[in-house]
A and B are shown apart, each in its own frame.
Chain A
């Protein structure tokens, strides 16, 4: 995903074939700043566009199902996810009220993915990835694949992929319904972020700011904490070294 409009192993992000996604249409040849044009101003023909991957998730009944991971979504897709997630939360809140239960507050349910994607979709180094299953968005992740550098002493100054935002659909949160519909969204996304880092030549280095409820997860899976970051609302900042990234994804290809 490095660079704008550069050719790369047959999965150029600037192709022209529309990729159907449920009822939405993903314009693979989105209006990026740098559409592939030759000096005569003609559209250059690109190879087939591979923007999606089949990934596993675990359904509530314990069975594993096939889901689709999209490498890049557009504003329309993000808007639909916002709508679905908000509608679900509204219903759950109303139900909790009538049952007299307390409902935890989920800050990231108000994250306005549509606005985030709208602001960044024209930049190839800011892809928003989505995992879709059973016709609905199970999670969204916005990455920064350029211009972010390691802070760990062992890798200081080396380029990395930064996970700007990562969220699972509200129906996949244990705290909200007790029985998440799908498990695995977090693992699959982090694997994808590591893969993006490897593909960019960053050796799997990734970094992120964790929300408090996820700190234990990151620490268990090899992320190193570099302390609370005053520039990011005091959230703890974590990095994954190339070694830890390798261990995270080891055995993922059957």
Chain B
């Protein structure tokens, strides 16, 4: 975080008003914990997704706490598209959908489009990621190593 606060600023603010009672809250500890539990990206969650494209989308969605409809409105695409990407093996999203999703997830458009087209050979210099991405089609559970590779794939996509 690039935080710079000078004394003069605070002095001016405190002249405007006192801040002794500033508080915010309203979420019970139980609700807070429940919300957080839904945010963990588990290997089991990812294993339910049949394609590498879907796993990447699902990973980012879980990580950021977006529902499919939230991501849909953020990317301005149909919710059905996102559901299809995450659940159907042979679903072929339109180039517009792929581009919009890349923007919403803050991915490199070019790399994400390549991933969507399965043109993985030019995707990244990291062979192991590609090999995994190419063979990972719907197993019952994914290992820690595979999980780490999907995470690395998301990271690679995020380097614009």
Contact = CB atoms under 8 A, between A and B. Distances in A.
Interface of A: 1-7, 9, 11, 33-34, 37-39, 41, 53, 55-58, 64, 69, 71, 108, 111-112, 115-116, 119-120, 123, 125-126, 146-147, 149, 157, 159, 163-168, 172-175, 180, 183-192, 195-196, 199, 201, 208-211, 213-214, 217, 220-221, 229, 232-233, 235, 249, 251-254
A210 B24 contact: yes
B5 A188 contact: yes
Contact of A214 (B1, B14, B21): B21
B5 A191 contact: yes
A8 to B, nearest CB: 10
A147 B21 contact: no
Given A53-B5, A208-B24, 6 more contacts: A39-B126, A147-B64, A164-B24, A164-B25, A186-B21, A217-B22
B14 A168 contact: no
Given A53-B3, A125-B65, A183-B18, A119 B33 contact: yes
A232 B66 contact: no
17 contacts: A4-B151, A7-B159, A39-B128, A41-B145, A41-B148, A112-B29, A119-B36, A164-B25, A183-B18, A184-B19, A190-B22, A213-B23, A214-B21, A221-B16, A221-B17, A232-B27, A251-B12
A191 B19 CA distance: 13
Interface residues of B, number: 54
Nearest to A34: B151
A186 B126 CA distance: 46
B141 interface: no
A213 B24 CA distance: 10
Contact of B36 (A37, A120, A249): A120
B64 A56 contact: no
B23 A214 contact: yes
Nearest to B151: A34
A119 B34 CA distance: 10
Given A33-B40, A39-B128, A123-B39, A163 B19 contact: no
Given A39-B126, A213-B23, A147 B66 contact: yes
Given A108-B25, A126-B36, A235-B25, A186 B19 contact: yes
A186 B3 contact: no
A147 B14 contact: no
Interface string B148-160: 1101101100110
A220 B17 contact: yes
A11 B3 CA distance: 12
B21 A217 contact: yes
B4 interface: yes
B96 interface: no
Contact of B152 (A39, A186, A208, A249): A39
Nearest to A1: B1
A166 B11 CA distance: 21
Nearest to B21: A213
A175 B5 contact: no
A165 B65 contact: no
B83 interface: no
B29 A166 contact: no
Nearest to B39: A123
A168 B20 CA distance: 8
Contact of B20 (A3, A180, A210): A180
B90 interface: no
Contacts of A7: 159
A203 to B, nearest CB: 15
B127 to A, nearest CB: 8
A167 B24 CA distance: 7
Contacts of B21: 173-175, 186, 213-214, 217
